[in-house]
Amino acid sequence: MKNKIILQIFIMMVLVSSVSCEQKVLLKDKINFIYSSSMNDLWIATSGGIYRIKDEKYNDAKNIKKGEKVTGIAEDAKKNIYFGIGKNVVCLNIGNEEKIITPFGMGREDSYIQSLAVDKNDNLWIGRNNDLLVMYNGDKFKTYPVWDVNSIVFSASGDIWIGAKSGIYFIKNDILEELKLDTSDLEDFEINNILIDDYDNLWLATNKGLFKYNNHIWIIYNTGNSKLKDDQVSSVYLDKNGSLMVGTRSGEIQTIKNNKWQELNPGLKNNAINTIYKDSKDILLLGTDSGLTVSK
C-alpha cells in the first residue's frame, strides 16, 4: 500500500497568541543533547564536554569531560550512561568507572558518533556520520547498511526507527526497510530528529518542515500551511503533558496539543534549537548553538 501524503491546510484550530518566556543563558558551548537519567541527573552533551546537573540546580553544572565534543547520550537498564565522543563510546557505570567502546568502522577517517540509543534488550545502537549504523550487544558489533544516522527511537512494539541523511528507515524482526515517500518533491529532504508519541505517531524534524507519519499516511506541516515560521525544523520533544514541542533553526518554538498550536517566545532569534527538555517544575531547557537557555 502506497504511503499517502497530505499537505495539512488549516483543518485544525490554531492559537494565534504568542507566549513570552523569562530566560537566562548558561553553558556557552554548543549544546547537542539533553538527557535526564533514571538517577534524576541531567546530562548535557556539548561541544566542550559533558555537564552533569543534580537536583535541577542549573547554576551548579559540573563539566566532567572538559574539552571533549560530546554528541549523544543513552542509558541502559543497569544505569550505565553512554556518551558519544568522536569515534568512541564512553560508558560510565554507577560507580563512575569508565569503559571505552570503539565500534567497528568502515567509513572515512573523519567519521564520528552522532546518536546513541539503548533498546529494551540493552543493545546499544550507534549512529555515525560517514559510517554505518552499528548495534552492540555487549560482546559483538553488528552493522546495518544505513549511513549518516543522526536519530534512533523505538516503538512500543519494539520496532527500531532510524533517521538518516538519506531518509527514514525501520528495523522489524531484524529486517531493515526504507520508508519511502511517493513524491519527487521531497526526495532531497534531510532528517534532523525523530520522535514517537503515545499514539504511535512518528514525528520528523526535517529541513522541509515537520512531518507526521502513521499507518501509511503522511502529514506535512510547513510555513505554507501551519503556524511554523521556519521550515528548518531542528528538534522535536514530547513533554509529560502530551504537548509536542517543535524547535527550528531560527530559534522558534511551537507547541502542539489536540491540534492546537501555540508559539512560545524564548528570545532566541536566529539561534538554532538543537535539543529541548522540560523539567519537573515545567522549566524549559533549550540547547542551542550558543549555549543552554533556561526559560520559565
Q: What pLDDT, on the 0 to 100 scale, is given for residue 90?
A: 95
Domain chopping of the chain, boundaries: 4-295
Beta-carbon contacts of 32 under 8 Å, excluding residues fewer than 6 positions away, are 45, 46, 47, 70, 71, 72, 274, 275, 287
Beta pairing, strands 217-221 & 4-7: parallel
DSSP state of 41: -
Q: Per-residue pLDDT for the chain (296 aa), expressed as one digit of tens each?
A: 455 554 443 333 333 445 555 566 677 889 999 999 999 899 999 999 999 998 888 777 888 878 889 999 999 999 999 999 999 999 999 888 999 999 987 777 888 999 999 999 999 999 999 999 999 999 999 999 999 999 999 999 899 999 998 789 999 999 999 988 765 555 677 899 999 999 999 999 999 999 999 988 999 999 999 999 999 999 999 999 999 999 999 999 999 999 899 998 766 776 899 999 999 888 999 999 989 988 87
Q: What pLDDT, on the 0 to 100 scale, is given for residue 183?
A: 57
Q: What pLDDT, on the 0 to 100 scale, is given for residue 13?
A: 37
**Cβ atoms within 10 Å, residue 143:** 15
Closest CA to 197 of 162, 229, 154: 154
Cα 258 to Cα 197, 209, 210, 237: the distances in Å are 13, 19, 16, 15
Q: What pLDDT, on the 0 to 100 scale, is given for residue 12?
A: 39
- As a whole number of angstroms, the distance between CA 152 and CA 33 comes to 13
Q: What pLDDT, on the 0 to 100 scale, is given for residue 180?
A: 80
Residues of 97-126 as b/e, b for ≥16 C-beta within 10 angstroms?
eeeeeebebeeeeebbbbbbbbbeeeebbb
Q: What pLDDT, on the 0 to 100 scale, is given for residue 187?
A: 62
Q: What pLDDT, on the 0 to 100 scale, is given for residue 24?
A: 63
CATH number of 4-295, picked from 3.40.50.150, 2.130.10.10, 2.40.400.10, 1.20.1070.10: 2.130.10.10
Residue with cell 517543535: 246
